Amino acid sequence: MGLDFSIIPKYLDVVLLGAAWTMGITVASAILSFFGGIVFAVVALYAPWIIRQPFRLIEWVFMGTPLLLQLFLIYFGLVQIGIDLPAFIAGIIGLGLHFAVYNSELIQTAILAVDKGQMEAARTLGLSRGEALRKVVIPQAVRAVIPPIGNNMIALLKDSALVSVIGVSELTLSAQRVIGKTYRPFEFYILAAAFYYVINLCMEWVQRKIERRIAISR
């Protein structure tokens, strides 16, 4: 059986829908991982001991175990304690928190690297520590870590294929389903790969846009 790419148009809508799900899940969990990363970083650096501990446990779980297991735990495990999440929500939470932990590491380092004169200047004007963090320190830290966070987000896009295991019809699973009908794995995996590549390019473009916008204010 040779290759026949002419079969693609017939099933393109299925794969496109899968690509749309992948994009949606990636964007939603990227946003969650970004803001979650900031929250984790601030808690790790500034929260009192008693609040830090549960967060450390969450961080340990999400950093020290496979993402696949985390997705199973959130989707199948939480049902047992009465939390029944739709698969795509479970996927977004799993991916989002997993990468939030990685983003948090970057943001913590960046917060500590902001010149201490910045905090002093803000405090001198009368801002509280919290206000100074929010308006002065964190915005600068976040600007500094946009490039490495961008790398994490591309890893997130690729790992979003894992949510197929909890039944979300994203790009990889859609391709598999089409292959199940057509027995044409090469054509449709290549097609899926091409879509991942295009989404990747879009994300890099957005990242460059953001970087250019903040370049002047560094």
Partner 1 sequence: MTEQTDFVEIRHAQKSFGALEVLKDISLSVTRGQIVGIIGSSGSGKSTLLRAINDLDPLTGGEIWLDGVQVNKSLPHRQYEKHINEMRQQVGMVFQHFNLFPHMTARENVTMAPKMLKGLSQAAADKLAEEQLDKVGMLERIDYYPSQLSGGQKQRVAIARALAMKPKLMLFDEATSALDPELVEEVNLVMKRLAEEHMTMIIVTHEMDFAASVCDRVLFMDKGVVVEEGPPATMFKHPTKERTREFLRKHIEGAK
Residues near partner 1 (CB under 8 A): 115, 117-118, 120-129, 131, 135-136, 139-140, 143, 214, 216-218
Residues 6+ apart with CB under 8 A from 18: 169, 170, 171, 172, 173, 174, 175, 192, 195
The angle that helices 171-182 and 8-46 make with each other, rounded to 10 degrees, is 150
Shortest spacing between CB 145 and partner 1, in angstroms: 13
Q: At what angle do helices 185-215 and 8-46 cross, to 10 degrees?
A: 40
> What's the CA gap between 133 and 193, in Å, rounded?
41
User: Is the CB of 107 or the CB of 163 nearer to partner 1?
Assistant: 107
Q: Which is nearer to partner 1, 101 or 149 (CB)?
A: 149
In angstroms, what is the minimal distance from the CB of 65 to partner 1? 36
**Nearer residue to partner 1 within complex by CB, 2 or 48:** 48
**What is the closest distance, in whole angstroms, from the C-beta atom of residue 124 to partner 1 in the complex?**
4
Tokens 């794969």 belong to which residue?
15
Q: How many CA atoms lie within 13 A of 123 on its CB side?
A: 9
CB of 137 to partner 1, least distance (A): 10
Please say which residue, 118 or 207, places its beta carbon nearer to partner 1.
118
